[in-house]
Every structure is written in C-alpha cells, then in structure tokens.
C-alpha cells in the first residue's frame, strides 16, 4: 500500500490550502508544495519540475494529488517518475498531451478571473464565491486574502505528456463547482480509472476536508495487493466493485 501523499495546489493557492486535509492524514507521510507559477512569473515547466523534485525528495511510491490547474502540473511532472504510483485529480484539469489550460477554456477567461499580462492572472475582487461557494464566510475570506497571482505562461503552455496515461488515476467531481462546471469535469473524468463525487464547490479541501481525506485513503487502498486481488476475483465471478 502507498503510504506517502504529495499534495499539489491549483492556481493562486499554496501548500497552505491543504492544511486541514494533511491533518486528517497524519498517520501517513504527507508533503504539500507551492507551485512556482503562483509567483506570477514561472511557467508549466517550472511547476512540473517542482512536482518531480518533491517526488524525488519523498523517495518512495506516492499518491500524487492535483487540484484544478494542479492537475496539469501533476500530469506533466509525475510522468516518468519512479516515485509516482497513482494520481488523484481533484476537480482538476485532466488534459491530453498537447493541450493547455487556455485550450480547455476555449481561450476565454471567465469574468471572475482578472488578467494582467505582466503580473499574471488573479481572482477578481469580490468573486470569492466562484472558488469557495460552500465554505463558511470566515474561511472563504481568510483563503481569499492569501491568494497570489499566477503566470499567464502557466495556463498558456501545452502539456507535453500526461501521466494518467500510464498510472492509475481517480477523478473527484465537485458537484457544486462554480469554477470548473461539473459537466466539464464529467468529460475529463471519463479518462480516469475511478471516479468519486463530493457535493462541494471548487475548494473541498477547505469546505469538506473529511471527505477529501477519505477519498485519498480509498485511492491509497486501491494500490493494496489484497484489494487488487479481491477486485480481480470479483471481476472473474461477475461481481461489480
């Protein structure tokens, strides 16, 4: 069974956004990272390198979790890593090689994202609901105050590889998401081996950390040889899992 977890944030967020989830996985080795592109300057290659470096630092088989844009970072960064064992896309962009986030958005940013070619993208003032719709008001306010700018290069650069093509993957659909519409998530989730659902907005690590931690534990257990053997037996005898 995998006993290490790497947590990768999405646009504008840092490792801090996973604090509540990490607390609920205290019996495991959990590493959360910041993405270089969330300083408004670096790009996807830098983010992918940060994921690879974190996996090398862990030095053992790890479950790699990406939220939103972080799905692109883990698709690129976990590919070919001997330490990446499985992937979880948390309402994340699970794209094909050759696609960029802007391609997935048809090169149109929603009105709640402000764009500055020099400073990068950031959450437009007063639109916290797009990310934190089901969070308590104080939690949403505190999170919004910690957001940074993300570079335009990060969302405009196409992926060159997709780790999910070689590794087991789970997609987590957030059913009340106002940032990445659930139908868009459903389409991407068709690429995953397993699909989970949470009745949350775009930031379940803040609004439903218990649910997220439970989903990650289930993803870890899917790598358990006994569980794999049981699933194989079920399929052989026509039982569903």
Provide the annotated active-site residues: 177, 202
Determine phi and psi for 66, rounding to 5 degrees: -125, 135
Indicate the DSSP class of residue 180. Answer: S
Helix H or strand E encompassing 7: strand 4-8
Look at residue 145 and give its three-state secondary structure. Answer: coil
User: What phi and psi, each to the nearest 5 degrees, are found at residue 36?
Assistant: -55, -30
Note the helical H segments in the chain: 19-23, 44-58, 70-77, 101-104, 129-132, 137-144, 152-156, 182-189, 204-207, 209-221, 225-236
Interior angle at CA 178, CA 172 and CA 184, nearest 5: 55
Tokens of 24: 């609920």
């Amino acid at each position: 069974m995998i006993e290490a977890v790497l947590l990768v944030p999405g646009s504008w967020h840092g490792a801090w956004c996973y604090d509540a989830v990490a607390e609920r996985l205290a019996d495991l080795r959990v590493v959360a990272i910041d993405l270089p592109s969330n300083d408004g300057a670096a790009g996807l290659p830098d983010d992918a390198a940060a994921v690879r470096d974190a996996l090398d630092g862990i030095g053992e088989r790890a479950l790699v979790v990406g939220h939103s844009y972080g799905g692109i970072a883990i698709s690129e960064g976990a590919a070919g890593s001997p330490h990446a064992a499985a992937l979880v896309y948390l309402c994340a962009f699970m794209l094909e090689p050759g696609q960029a986030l802007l391609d997935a958005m048809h090169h149109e940013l929603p009105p709640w994202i402000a764009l500055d070619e020099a400073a990068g993208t950031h959450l437009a003032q007063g639109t916290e609901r797009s990310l934190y719709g089901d969070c308590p008001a104080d939690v949403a306010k505190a999170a919004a105050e910690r957001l940074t700018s993300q570079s335009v290069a990060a969302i405009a650069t196409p992926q060159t590889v997709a780790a999910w093509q070689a590794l087991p993957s789970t997609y987590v659909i957030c059913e009340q998401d106002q940032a990445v519409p659930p139908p868009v998530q459903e389409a991407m989730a068709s690429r995953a081996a397993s699909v989970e659902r949470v009745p949350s907005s775009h930031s379940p690590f803040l609004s439903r950390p218990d649910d997220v931690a439970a989903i990650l534990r289930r993803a870890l257990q899917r790598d358990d040889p006994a569980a794999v053997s049981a699933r194989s037996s079920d399929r052989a005898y026509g039982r569903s899992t």
